[in-house]
Chain A
Amino acid sequence: MTITQIISSAGKVIAEKGTEEIVENASKIYEIIRGSYTPLSQEIIVECPENKQKYSIAFEAKGGYLPKKIKFLNGKPVRVNLRPLRSGQDISNAINLLENGFELSTSAMSKEDLFLLDIEYKISNPDYLNSLVERNRAKEVPKDKEDEYWMHAELKHPKALKTKYGRLDLRDIDFTVDVGITEDVNLIIPPSFRTEMEASIQVLDELNPRDKYVKGLWQIRAKKTRKNKKNIIAVANNIQNLFLPQKFCNFIEVKQDFRFMECMRGQNYYENISSLYLPKTMEIVSRTDLGLEKFASHGVLIYKKESLLTQISKIIGIR
């Protein structure tokens, strides 16, 4: 590959075409509004997780003749919202969704006011976002470093976001980082607890009363090594509960240009189905925004390993 070939044009056509489609929708609405009102400001936002475009236009009504209905027939929107900014009255009945668009009933709107109209459309090409944004993240962190995973998002083709109908921003770009937890779980769980688990399985499995007794003694001996005398199944369940999203999020902190969104059990495609009791990784979803005022974002995801390990030790009864 020569050096000039490195300049990335991959996805440029999709990016430009996608923006063209978004801007076309916005421009049609702008022109129709301009026919009856005075447009003041506008913005276009791509809401990334839902793959939607949201066009917002503020306009002023200054009285005078208005048609009873104003139709916008450029495709059915996902949602339309109209708010009067001065009077604050409820004018939800001013909007009617049609088969191929929507209409405004001007009779339900005040003759003199400022309005904010938000219209959301589905983006037709699912690859639009990928053609615009490059996403990279740390797949893991070296052993001797703190558990801080870097995240980075940058625009591939910022020129494709330049439009004559105002700013086009990308909002809530999803970012998934897999936080590895196996090493920590393995280190904190003592061999005696494994032995107890092995013995408990055998006791549950055994039908012969004499052998059940022998295995039971083995299990009791192993259990004596921990302070907490709770049933091993309850202990195992309590450990598993730490990896429920609402609990595990306490061990995560997201900093800089990204914000924490949610966490869930990691999908590790290399895993044995038989070892699914605990996840090998936790999947952390963070979000960031990009646009012509923000070409790139970087952030850090901190995994508070020590706190998690302390919790596990307490549950087992080794601390």
Chain B
Amino acid sequence: MIVNSIYMPDTCLQKDNFPAHILWNKNINLEILLKIPNSILIKEIYNVSKGGIKELSKGVIKINKYDVNGYVGFVFHSKLLKKPKVIENIEFEIIDPITNESEKFIKNIELFRPYLNLEKSPDKIFVKGDTSLNKVQLSEKIKLKNIGDGTALILIDTKSDDHFLLSLPTGYDSFTKRFLIDMERKMETLKEKFPNYSDTIDSYIDLLKHSIAPDEKYIKKIKKVSSDLLEKFENDKDFQNEITSTAFLCYIENIELITELRSFLEYLNSIGTGRIILLNSIFVIKSSTPSGRFNLQIQSMDLAYNVYPQIQIPEIEIICDKDCEIPIHSLFEWN
């Protein structure tokens, strides 16, 4: 056995990075032949000297010179694939150029992602309002299923004839307002303590202040803020502890008995079966007329914040027996 260790993870989200490394005895010079499928790209190779790498043919690479002998590191990138679950393999062939002894290692990886399937979309939905219980009952629901293995973060948007509008529910947000004011105030103090992270804190507050919007600009913003904060958190423990505890403190200080239950219910409403998280689950559809038509669009992304093509739901006619607010989550069934 020439190699001490060869590692590659066995699962990864599609369109995300995954690493690999090979370790061997520092006193032996090795050649490495790498065979990678079309679905995978090499993003980085670490510790290879200039002139130490050669592409023999498409997807076949030879490495034979290292800055420090005994190690080579890789970062691969999976492409977005048609199928939501694909098992691919990378072949590492290790050759001792002196003895010509060689050993092959085949490492498999499952590349997965969410895959939303619109299974049923009714032409017409009757909405029955129960005034005494402040509830609505829908005659039919839209059936949306995630048949992929990855989590789908989804945002619902509507296009309607102006009579059905997507908005926040009546009476919403006294908690949210208090929370944000408190956060903004406390974050100003944190900016004084961590002046180098002032821009990061501003972007974080900005993201919190703007309500969730079903568009790519919003998604890009989430991606930027989250990767920026993750990097800073991993390099500065104090900063991470301060941000996390401040956010939780603001939550605890502003919550009331009734918001606790509302917040718990809202949490449950935002989760669909089969790894679906409805980002704007708090929104309702408000109607100004008893009936009308609307179109829904579903914008989705995965946990690596890769955005998937929008799903258009065919036009639906809504007939309400009285004025009501239809919670957006109640329009869907996920199984």
Contact = CB atoms under 8 A, between A and B. Distances in A.
| Chain A contact residues, majority secondary structure | mixed
Interface residues of B, number: 96
B7 A296 contact: yes
B154 to A, nearest CB: 10
Interface stretch (A4-12, A20-28, A80-88): A4-12
A301 B225 CA distance: 25
B216 interface: no
Contact of A158 (B68, B150, B180, B277): B68
Interface in A171-207: 174-176, 178, 180, 182-183, 185-187, 189, 194, 197-202, 204-205
Nearest to A204: B258
B9 interface: yes
B257 interface: yes
B281 A158 contact: no
B319 to A, nearest CB: 24
B226 A214 contact: no
Interface string A44-69: 00001111000000000000000000
Interface of B: 5, 7, 9-13, 16-19, 21, 23, 42-55, 61, 67-68, 70-71, 73, 75, 85, 110, 112, 132-135, 149-151, 153, 172-173, 175-176, 179-180, 196, 204, 207-208, 212, 222, 225-226, 229-231, 233-237, 243-244, 247-248, 251, 257-258, 260-273, 275, 277, 279-282, 303-304
Contact of A126 (B9, B75, B196): B196
B303 to A, nearest CB: 5
A318 to B, nearest CB: 15
B11 A7 contact: no
B224 to A, nearest CB: 9
Interface residues of A, number: 82
Contacts of B271: 182-183, 185-186
A232 B261 contact: yes
Interface of A: 3-4, 6-8, 10, 48-51, 126, 129-130, 134-136, 138-145, 150, 152, 154-159, 162, 174-176, 178, 180, 182-183, 185-187, 189, 194, 197-202, 204-205, 211, 214-215, 218, 232-233, 236-237, 239-240, 264-265, 267, 269-278, 280, 283, 292, 295-296, 298
